[in-house]
């Protein structure tokens, strides 16, 4: 007997713009559920200002206070949250909680499509395209964009469809109509085709910039990226609870902060039994979490504690890395973020990069998305060739700052 979706996720929208809406989720528990839910909240652009999490290991109860936008699609958000909960699988007789992650991934791989666009170039074109794909719930997995000397742009997007309808003519027509309205007369040709299994989105990015991006300590002043703040406090206490380890986190808030924390716990296979967090005095984030290892025990091993604290600190100080580099006569913007062990990248990064450059009236000459393995981690790397240096409308430092602030949600 399945659980009704109306009981799994309840959204109480605020009556006044700017006031928080309340999202309540009541469903069976699984390791990593908080990460999956927070990833959806990040995808929909919600600002989470407060939360409570409680579970007995079998059933969980989560409450999020969020600030939405005038265009937030609440009904669609509810649908995606329900689908992410174990209750959705139970309703169809699938014991999802008992499947290994590898089986889940192999059984849920979405079809990959190639979207080809030919357009006349103009400022903000790439942002307009990514905004359309975002609204239609089409995820960009890989991209190759190039501009010809005569001002023509060829965009190749490898995409997946959250609604799993891109193989139908109706869905392709819908995408075309939205793109035509957004691009206008600049649109010259459009095509979508299903690509074969020989095409992979896990292509390796060039290692030529690896030293610049990955060699430095995130706490130092180094050109490998900006920091959210050096005021990150993380403490571990095993004395307050006989069964749980208490993790206390205090730091500066940024876009996707809750996802960064939950992703780290998911990658470490840590279960959250109870937690509470809030945003105080603007950007000050405070969180208390009672956690256990996958075996249900406290984290007593000092080496495990050190590894967890080190990873959390790195994620909170530098969730993404933003670098400006010389690429011959041109200027290249590099943005990179860690990938979940499940293979999922951070949502909406490319969208935010394009938005930041559009606000600066900066044209994108070419762009690529790749992946780079460094140590035991995989990183998603965005390479954007923006213009020849002498024609940049603003300074490199201004571009870097604007991209960083947009990614952090500070503008």
CATH number at residue 208: 3.30.70.260
Q: Are residues 117 and 204 in the same domain?
A: yes
Alpha-carbon distance of 306 to 373, in angstroms, equals: 23
Q: Note whether residue 268 is domain-resident.
A: yes
Q: Which residue has the higher pLDDT, 237 or 69?
A: 237
Task: Please determine, for residue 268, whether its predicted confidence score (pLDDT) is greater than 70.
Answer: yes
Q: Are residues 21 and 76 in the same domain?
A: yes
Task: Render pLDDT for 177-192 as a digit per residue (tens, 0 to 9).
Answer: 999 999 998 899 999 9
Task: Render pLDDT for 25-51 as a digit per residue (tens, 0 to 9).
Answer: 999 998 899 999 999 999 999 999 999
Q: Are residues 342 and 312 in the same domain?
A: no
Report CA 393 to chain centroid distance, whole Å: 29
Q: Domain range for residue 304?
A: 9-94+232-317
Q: Note whether residue 3 is domain-resident.
A: no
Task: Mean pLDDT check: name the lowest of 246-250, 277-281, 325-329, 361-365.
Answer: 325-329
Q: Note whether residue 259 is domain-resident.
A: yes
Out of 2-6, 9-13, 198-202, 229-233, the most confident range is 9-13
Taking the complete model, does pTM exceed 0.75, yes or no? yes
344, β-bridge pairs:
none
DSSP class of residue 393 equals: S
Q: Are residues 127 and 153 in the same domain?
A: yes
Question: Model confidence at 208, in pLDDT bands (50, 70, 90)?
Answer: low
Task: Please determine, for residue 212, whether its predicted confidence score (pLDDT) is greater than 80.
Answer: no
Q: Note whether residue 388 is domain-resident.
A: yes
What pLDDT score does 372 carry? 86
Question: Model confidence at 105, in pLDDT bands (50, 70, 90)?
Answer: very low
What pLDDT score does 199 carry? 60
What pLDDT score does 207 carry? 52
Q: Note whether residue 106 is domain-resident.
A: no
Question: Model confidence at 221, in pLDDT bands (50, 70, 90)?
Answer: very low
Q: Are residues 339 and 366 in the same domain?
A: yes
CA angle 300, 307, 346 (to 5 degrees): 125
* C-beta of residue 97 within 8 angstroms of C-beta of residue 171: no
Alpha-carbon Rg for the chain in angstroms: 22
Give the domain-ending residue among 260, 292, 317: 317
Token pair in block for residue 203: 């292509």
Give the domain-ending residue among 282, 317, 352: 317
Q: Are residues 282 and 326 in the same domain?
A: no
Q: Which residue has the higher pLDDT, 199 or 166?
A: 166
Closest CA to 110 of 156, 158, 162, 157: 162
Task: Please determine, for residue 20, whether its predicted confidence score (pLDDT) is greater than 70.
Answer: yes
| Sheet of 113-120, strands arranged across | 187-194, 113-120, 152-161, 138-147, 366-374, 377-388, 330-338, 321-327
Alpha-carbon distance of 73 to 78, in angstroms, equals: 9
Question: Model confidence at 209, in pLDDT bands (50, 70, 90)?
Answer: low
Report CA 30 to chain centroid distance, whole Å: 20
What pLDDT score does 204 carry? 52
Task: Please determine, for residue 133, whether its predicted confidence score (pLDDT) is greater than 60.
Answer: yes
Helices (H), 255-297: 257-267
Give the domain-ending residue among 265, 289, 317: 317
Alpha-carbon distance of 390 to 313, in angstroms, equals: 38
Closest CA to 130 of 167, 75, 182, 194: 182
Alpha-carbon distance of 249 to 187, in angstroms, equals: 48
Token pair in block for residue 235: 């403490």
Domain total for the chain?
A: 2
* C-beta of residue 49 within 8 angstroms of C-beta of residue 20: yes
Residue 264: give its domain's CATH number: 3.40.1020
Alpha-carbon distance of 12 to 22, in angstroms, equals: 5
Q: Are residues 341 and 258 in the same domain?
A: no
Question: Model confidence at 123, in pLDDT bands (50, 70, 90)?
Answer: confident
Question: Given phi > 0 = left and psi -120 to 50 = alpha, else beta, which region is 402?
Answer: alpha
Can you state the angle between helices 396-408 and 349-359, rounded to 10 degrees? 130
What pLDDT score does 88 carry? 56
Share of the chain above pLDDT 70, in %: 84
Q: Average pLDDT of the chain?
A: 85
What pLDDT score does 365 carry? 83
Alpha-carbon distance of 332 to 335, in angstroms, equals: 10
């Amino acid at each position: 007997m399945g659980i009704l979706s109306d009981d799994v996720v309840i959204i109480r929208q605020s009556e006044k713009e700017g006031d928080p809406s309340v999202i309540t989720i009541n469903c069976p528990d699984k390791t990593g559920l908080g990460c999956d839910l927070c990833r959806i909240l990040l995808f929909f652009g919600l600002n989470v200002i407060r939360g409570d999490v409680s579970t007995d290991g079998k059933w969980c109860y989560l409450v999020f206070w969020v600030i939405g936008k005038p265009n937030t699609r609440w009904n669609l958000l509810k649908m995606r949250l329900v689908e992410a909960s174990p209750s959705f699988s139970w309703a169809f007789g699938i014991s999802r909680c008992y499947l290994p992650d590898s089986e889940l991934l192999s059984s849920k791989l979405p079809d990959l499509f190639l979207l080809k666009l030919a357009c006349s170039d103009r400022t903000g074109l790439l942002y307009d395209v990514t905004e359309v794909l975002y609204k239609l719930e089409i995820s960009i997995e890989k991209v190759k964009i190039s501009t010809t000397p005569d001002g023509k742009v060829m965009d190749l997007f490898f995409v997946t469809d959250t609604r799993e309808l891109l193989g139908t003519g109706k869905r392709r027509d819908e995408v075309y109509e939205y793109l035509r309205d957004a691009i206008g007369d600049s649109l010259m040709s459009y095509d979508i085709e299903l690509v074969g299994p020989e095409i992979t989105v896990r292509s390796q990015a060039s290692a030529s910039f690896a030293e610049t991006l990955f060699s430095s300590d995130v706490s130092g002043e180094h050109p490998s990226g900006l920091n959210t703040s050096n005021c990150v406090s993380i403490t571990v206490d095993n004395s307050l609870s006989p069964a749980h380890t208490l993790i206390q986190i205090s730091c500066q808030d940024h876009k996707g902060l809750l996802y960064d924390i939950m992703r780290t716990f998911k990658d470490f296979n840590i279960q959250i039994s109870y937690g509470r967090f809030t945003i105080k005095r603007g950007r000050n984030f405070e969180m208390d979490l009672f956690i256990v290892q996958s075996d249900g025990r406290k984290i007593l091993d000092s080496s495990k504690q050190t590894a967890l604290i080190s990873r959390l600190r790195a994620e909170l100080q530098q969730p993404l890395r933003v670098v400006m580099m010389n690429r011959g006569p041109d200027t290249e913007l590099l943005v990179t973020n860690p990938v979940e062990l499940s293979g999922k990248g951070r949502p909406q990064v490319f969208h935010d990069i394009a938005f930041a450059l559009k606000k600066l009236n900066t044209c994108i000459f070419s762009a690529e998305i790749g992946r780079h393995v460094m140590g035991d981690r995989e990183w998603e790397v965005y390479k954007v060739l923006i213009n020849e240096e002498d024609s940049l409308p603003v300074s490199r430092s201004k571009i870097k700052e604007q991209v960083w602030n947009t990614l952090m949600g500070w503008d």
